[in-house]
Structure 1
Amino acid sequence: MAITVGAAATGDVTAAQPVAEQSPSFGTIVQQSPAGEAENGTSENRTDHHRNPTNVSGDGSPSAVKRWLAGSMARRLEGSAINLSQSNYQLASSVLGEGFGDDLDRYVNVAGDTDSPQDDQVARTFNETHQTQKQYTAQVSEFERLSAAYQAAREAGEIERARRLAKRLARLATAINETGRTLVGRYDALSNATGASLDDGRQAVLDTTNRTVADAQRVVDLSLVRTELRITSVSPTASYDEPLVITGRYVAANGTAVGDTAVALAAPGPGSQTTTAANGSFRLTHRPTDLETGVRNLTVTATPDDASVYLPATTSITADISSIEPRITFAAVFDRIAYDESRAVAVDVTVSDRPAGGVPVEITLDGTTLATGRTTESGTFQSTVGLPATVQNGTIELTAHAGAAGQALSEVSATRRVIVEPTPTTLSLDTANGSVIRVQGRLTTVDGGSVPDQPLDLSVDGVVVETVRTNASGWFAASTDGNGVAIGDAVTVTAVYDQPTTNLGPSQASAIGELTPRGLNGQEGAAGPNDSGGGLAGLPWGRLLNPIVVGAGVVSVASLLVAGYFWRRRSPTRAEPAPQSDQFETETTQSPAPTTVTLADVETVLERDGADAAVVSLYTVVGQYASADTRPDRTPRERYRAVRDTLSAEQSSTFQRVTALYEQAVFAPETVSPDRIKDTIAAVRQGFVDDGNAPADD
């Protein structure tokens, strides 16, 4: 059983003691928060080891500030671990709250003023440890909740429910063991890097982990039956046309046969799963596709239903995998394609003249992936593909790939030449006058189709001043000071799209803009002479809080802020902060309009660029919904706290959740899971969009 590795602690593990007994110096562990409240609520520290950096003016000593902040974060981590070991779950979680984030923000700022890459690494390690400990705390809290539910089910005689809960507890204990070991390793890394002592916290994590694993094992002994997966034979060699055959029996620890149970080989390809017979026997015939060639250790697992009294069982086998070359041919293909058009493509894959199912296939056009998937049992893969802008027009190779070098199915491909037709584009451009000239426009095809994620050069009187990108709907927006022109002078603002390496034709548009002093004749923020009437009316100028506002998933406002927040202090000079939102709201006379980035944009980014990029875009969206301050001298947590009192309880909680995800996506090495970002998008939609007060999500 997986949880039997739970005794991972090294050395003697002592039982958890009250905080004051286990750590006589806990007065320094619960470092007082900036507001003067003890972080864990159990003790107050009145020793002024170092002045709080938030209250210190002047240059000071960066190294001393770093030591204070590192010590403060280490004490918070340790205090949380000790409280968790004593089942103080709410306290353990609260110690990891805003105070830790504030300290981390300040440490990042101070580290940015040094030339040592080690300081940046320490900041990352603190953030990783913070995220890991929050996960660990949540897991242990969930374990206790499930334990209570398990006891209630047993007492009520709900046998099947108790079994399901027992298996969940066993799986969760395995996860807690893994997370706890990771956390202890990160404690050690922080101690080595900063000199901060985390010994009490380390011991508390070991105590909690061992207690949890022991509790899970007791539950298993009370409610479940341990099992074995006995392998009787394995093919010494295997390939796709000479499959791997595995036979064996699945039995209880006392030898009783366990039938009607799924048995699976952890390997992609046909025949990787079967079911045991009534006598517990099974025969698994697997045709390897993606396995690397050579001698491989493979895992076989028997997984009974959660309501079953039997536990899962896992064992390993060894097989020598050899390679064979498949054959791939086009079954359906197109001759021509243009931007934003859809075409059908299909291929057949065979091995030794027999249809090959479960084979990975990739369709590319001039090296750009259009579709991926696996063949059906009949050896066919088919898909509808579209043409991205990044493929240059002309006669291009369409290629179907199957297999890969060094795998059970070696690499093979088929190629056809197709014509990529050029698509003309058109640009619209409007301006609004004010203390800055605000610009908005849209890049589309001549048929009106959106052209997302494309760069455009903005120039003032022929001098390029900015490069912006279109968002998912083809819109772009920016503001400029007119390239140094005098107030009252009219200038020509031009947007140019010209990307010869794409299949999209060039286009440009111009408009007249003028700088006006604040409040001039009451016309601050008025539309320029080239306002078409439909483009500027109701433009979201109050949300253009940065000289460049760009499309979702590319270089969003949030990603620009990351550079200002984490790395900008490498430079000896700092950019002036962008105007606050209330300044722009005062300048403009237009009514609000749809936001620059929407939840639909975020979902597009998730599908195209992955979870981390989607989190950055989602952070931008929520900031727009909440009218958060986007000045680059503000940290994410400061932006959240500045607006939380103006939000509903649900919106405040959602914004805080998005902020935490954003920090993980930017600083932690672990990628945010797609399920988490999808759940968070749903929460944002419910909290900000469905309440009827948020901008339209079109």
Structure 2
Amino acid sequence: MVVLAVCLSLLAVSGFAPIGEVTAQDEEDNETDAPHTNPDEASEEGDGDRVSDWLQDRLSDSLGDSNEQVSEGQYDQAREILGDDYDDYLEQYGEVSDEGGADEYEESRDNQTELIDAAEEYDATYEEYEEAREAGNDQRARELARELDSLADEIDEEGQAVNESQETIEEETGTDTSETREAVDDIRSDTQSTQQEIRDVEFIPTEITVETDSETASFDDPMTIDGTITTTDGAPVTNEQITLEIGDQTVQTTTDLTGSFTVEYRPTIESLEQTELEIDYTPEAQSEYGGDGTTIPVTIEQSEADVEITETTESVAFGEELSISGTVGANGVGAQNVPVAIFADGDRLGQVITDEDGTFEGTTELPANIRAGDIELRALASLNEQALTGSETTTSIEVTETPSTSDVAAEHTDESIYVEGLLATEDGTPIAGELVTLEFGGESVTVETEEDGSYETLVAVPDGAGPFVTVDAIYADDGSNIGDSSASTEVQVGEETLLIQISEFLGISWLATALSPINANYWLALAGLLLLSATGAYFLIGQRGNSTDSSAAGPSGSNSGASSTSSQESVALRMTLLESARELARTGDTDQAVERAYIAVRQDESGEGRADTHWEFYRNRQEGGFASEQINALRELTQRFERAAFSTFNVSQNDAEDAIEDAETLIDDS
């Protein structure tokens, strides 16, 4: 009975409150904007068609107003009109429109923004051009005039794109977009007029004439092009270094004394269906001559391409640079402008373009999704129904595995568990785009890491979960070059009952399960009866053994003896618990050792404080004026107790021994 009374007194330390302190995150108020309200909805009946029409008008008016600002050179205002308000209208229109059109309005806005940028750059370059002319710097003026030529062409192209999207809007929604298109045409026309004036001032106009040995061209059998460049007055452009844009190729050559030149044309990426070939003469930037162009008929025949990898990184790991270089051509002649796709173990890494002599090179960081080991590196000429056939070549490289680390944390919020974590290499480099499996309470979900290697998700508390749920974050992917790693955390999702505390303290894992179906009032009453019986038996035995001493001592002696006995029992119990903790530590049961040492410290609590959680107990002692040495010892002990009681990781041997020393310090000073 005495042993039972001691056990019950130990259980009373923990009380009826949870041992673990729940650190619940305060929920932040989610501030959300009120939904947008269409003015017509507020002022009139506001059926869907009327709202849609109103929004179409706002969007179209915005595009028109933006064009007006471009015409006046107010580019910032032109952009602002297509800013937040336009986005709001666009979002609302997408929600209420039945006939679609939101995508077209968005595309039109994007094209309009490109037009604004080109027009603004044209104006800025034009100012530089005028300054160069005023300063008498003819060469610089001609350079800027050619830049203006390119920008004028860009304005024309972007303006055409705007009008095409406006025509689509009109076809799909019935909205009249003629005013917007007319405004864009005015911008295009004004720019071309200005540019023609610049050409007339800066450049001597030229004409290019060409003839070929055949209308058929292939890479293996190139077309020979003979040409002549003269001024419009017939004077030859002699000894001039020229650049010819022939289809998708760029060829540089020099005219002779008669203004003549001869070049070869080897088609590479031209479509087999192409029937005309454009040839444009582009003078040097500082030349006094203007450019010209012409077209000739052509029939493209296909040739087989050869792809070769000449050099590559031999061994590479995650995040390291993988380099590759090679050539594309046929019969020893390099092919320019050919797109080459690079694949590693079947996954596309990117694309490079061959230069004038057919060589290519590229560098990229190795992603995580390429498996470790010897893998195939492939270079593919990405061609289809073009002058050159698609072709490929492969080589082998070694991908080494990179160790990873996983971190995970969890917090209970309402009826869910918020989980966040991080996947990184051992040196802290984040690993993006990888899948991490979260296992909890017999369930699992998969999350993908973000660019910074982090992930977060909200999961439901598993059915039948106890007061604590262990969340395991597991990364294991045989298809990657990242090593496996895992992490665990424990989150409190419910109150830890007295049954569970009793079960954990006594080391009887089945106790809580066995007694949980019984009404709590019954087993609490039973525990109370046992405690009363034990107490009664203890005092009965004590009175029988000390009846003579009690009668001799009198009332005063009886009170003093009871107080002394209680104090001695408390000291003895503490010493017993500490010795038990030391023995547990010696046998390697470090978690139980720390818990036993912590219970020893709390043996002298009054009934009022026994329900305190471990951190409430610490704070109360901190506020109660404990000496700094005691507070430090209690804090260290509390932290180790929390790890021992609630973490999935065991307390180390050193930490267990330190916890016992902290407990001894606190007991000796009490």
Contact 2:368 2:481 in 1 (8 A): yes
Q: Secondary structure at the match of 2:286?
A: coil
Task: Give the distance between the partners of 1:386 and 1:219, measured in 2 at CA.
Answer: 47
1:201 to 149, 156, 180: 180
Deviations 1:203-225 (A, max 9, x none): 33333332332222223223322
Aligned pairs (5 A) from 1:280-679: 280-293=259-272, 296-327=275-306, 351-352=330-331, 354=332, 356=334, 358=336, 361-369=340-348, 373=352, 388-392=367-371, 397-401=376-380, 404=383, 406-415=385-394, 425-431=404-410, 437-444=417-424, 450-465=430-445, 467-473=446-452, 475-480=453-458, 482-483=460-461, 489-502=467-480, 504=482, 506-514=484-492
Instruction: Tell me the equivalent position of 1:11.
Output: none
Q: Secondary structure at the match of 2:196?
A: helix
Contact 2:461 2:493 in 1 (8 A): no
Task: Give the distance between the partners of 2:410 and 2:209, measured in 1 at CA.
Answer: 75
Deviations 1:235-254 (A, max 9, x none): 44343343332221222222
Rate the CA distance shift 1:406–1:193 in 2: closer, same or farther, 3 A: closer
1:260 to 240, 258, 263: 240
Contact 1:336 1:419 in 2 (8 A): yes
Deviation at 1:333, TM superposition (A): 7.7
Q: Secondary structure at the match of 1:272?
A: strand
Larger radius of gyration: 2
| Aligned-partner residue type, residue 98 of structure 1 | D
Deviation at 1:108, TM superposition (A): 2.7
Deviation at 1:383, TM superposition (A): 6.7
Task: Give the distance between the partners of 1:395 and 1:156, measured in 2 at CA.
Answer: 64
Instruction: Tell me the equivalent position of 1:229.
Output: 208
| Aligned-partner residue type, residue 158 of structure 2 | T
| Aligned-partner residue type, residue 82 of structure 2 | L
| Aligned-partner residue type, residue 124 of structure 1 | D
Q: Secondary structure at the match of 1:205?
A: helix
Structure showing greater relative contact order (alpha-carbon pairs closer than 8 Å, 6 or more residues apart): 2
Aligned pairs (5 A) from 1:181-192: 181-192=160-171
Rate the CA distance shift 1:132–1:449 in 2: closer, same or farther, 3 A: closer
Task: Give the distance between the partners of 2:70 and 2:357, measured in 1 at CA.
Answer: 55
Deviation at 1:123, TM superposition (A): 1.0
Deviations 1:312-352 (A, max 9, x none): 22222344333333555666689987766777767676744
Task: Give the distance between the partners of 1:239 and 1:506, measured in 2 at CA.
Answer: 53
Task: Give the distance between the partners of 1:371 and 1:151, measured in 2 at CA.
Answer: 43
Instruction: Tell me the equivalent position of 1:100.
Output: 86
Contact 2:317 2:400 in 1 (8 A): yes
Aligned pairs (5 A) from 1:80-95: 80-82=66-68, 84-85=70-71, 92-95=78-81
Rate the CA distance shift 1:251–1:406 in 2: closer, same or farther, 3 A: same
Q: Secondary structure at the match of 1:324?
A: coil
2:193 is the counterpart of 1:214: yes
Task: Give the distance between the partners of 1:479 and 1:306, measured in 2 at CA.
Answer: 58
1:69 to 49, 55, 66: 55
Task: Give the distance between the partners of 1:180 and 1:290, measured in 2 at CA.
Answer: 28
Task: Give the distance between the partners of 2:402 and 2:78, measured in 1 at CA.
Answer: 59
| Aligned-partner residue type, residue 422 of structure 2 | R
Rate the CA distance shift 1:84–1:321 in 2: closer, same or farther, 3 A: closer
Q: RMSD of the TM alignment (CA)?
A: 4.6
Gaps of 5+ in 2: 1-36, 496-614, 620-638, 650-670
Deviations 1:567-619 (A, max 9, x none): xxxxxxxxxxxxxxxxxxxxxxxxxxxxxxxxxxxxxxxxxxxxxxxxxxxxx
Q: Secondary structure at the match of 1:217?
A: helix
Task: Give the distance between the partners of 1:423 and 1:83, measured in 2 at CA.
Answer: 56
Instruction: Tell me the equivalent position of 2:500.
Output: none
Deviation at 1:438, TM superposition (A): 4.6
Task: Give the distance between the partners of 1:194 and 1:336, measured in 2 at CA.
Answer: 58
Deviations 1:406-427 (A, max 9, x none): 4444344445677777776553
Deviation at 1:157, TM superposition (A): 3.5
Contact 1:260 1:278 in 2 (8 A): no
Task: Give the distance between the partners of 2:252 and 2:491, measured in 1 at CA.
Answer: 67
Q: Secondary structure at the match of 2:279?
A: strand
Task: Give the distance between the partners of 2:180 and 2:329, measured in 1 at CA.
Answer: 58
Deviation at 1:404, TM superposition (A): 4.3
Rate the CA distance shift 1:170–1:405 in 2: closer, same or farther, 3 A: closer
2:148 is the counterpart of 1:162: no
Rate the CA distance shift 1:419–1:277 in 2: closer, same or farther, 3 A: same
Task: Give the distance between the partners of 2:81 and 2:351, measured in 1 at CA.
Answer: 46
Task: Give the distance between the partners of 1:65 and 1:101, measured in 2 at CA.
Answer: 16
Instruction: Tell me the equivalent position of 2:222.
Output: 243
Q: Secondary structure at the match of 1:458?
A: strand
**Number of equivalences:** 468
Q: Secondary structure at the match of 1:255?
A: coil
Instruction: Tell me the equivalent position of 1:658.
Output: none
Deviation at 1:491, TM superposition (A): 1.6
Deviations 1:124-178 (A, max 9, x none): 1112222223333444454445445544544443433433343333333333233
Deviation at 1:228, TM superposition (A): 1.7
| Aligned-partner residue type, residue 90 of structure 2 | L
Deviates more, 1:209-218 or 1:82-91: 82-91
Deviates more, 1:427-436 or 1:65-74: 427-436
Task: Give the distance between the partners of 1:96 and 1:90, measured in 2 at CA.
Answer: 10
Aligned pairs (5 A) from 1:267-286: 267=247, 272-277=251-256, 279-286=258-265
Task: Give the distance between the partners of 1:458 and 1:124, measured in 2 at CA.
Answer: 38
TM-score by length of 1: 0.56
Deviation at 1:445, TM superposition (A): 5.7
Rate the CA distance shift 1:193–1:322 in 2: closer, same or farther, 3 A: closer
Contact 1:326 1:412 in 2 (8 A): yes
Rate the CA distance shift 1:404–1:203 in 2: closer, same or farther, 3 A: closer
Contact 2:441 2:465 in 1 (8 A): no
Contact 2:468 2:494 in 1 (8 A): no
2:112 is the counterpart of 1:126: no
Task: Give the distance between the partners of 2:71 and 2:451, measured in 1 at CA.
Answer: 48
Task: Give the distance between the partners of 2:363 and 2:61, measured in 1 at CA.
Answer: 56
Q: Secondary structure at the match of 2:151?
A: helix
Deviation at 1:507, TM superposition (A): 4.1
Q: Indicate the structure with greater helix content.
A: 2
TM-score by length of 2: 0.58
Contact 1:263 1:300 in 2 (8 A): no
Deviation at 1:454, TM superposition (A): 0.5
| Aligned-partner residue type, residue 190 of structure 2 | R
2:157 is the counterpart of 1:178: yes
Deviation at 1:227, TM superposition (A): 1.7
2:65 is the counterpart of 1:79: yes
Task: Give the distance between the partners of 1:334 and 1:52, measured in 2 at CA.
Answer: 60
Task: Give the distance between the partners of 1:166 and 1:346, measured in 2 at CA.
Answer: 38
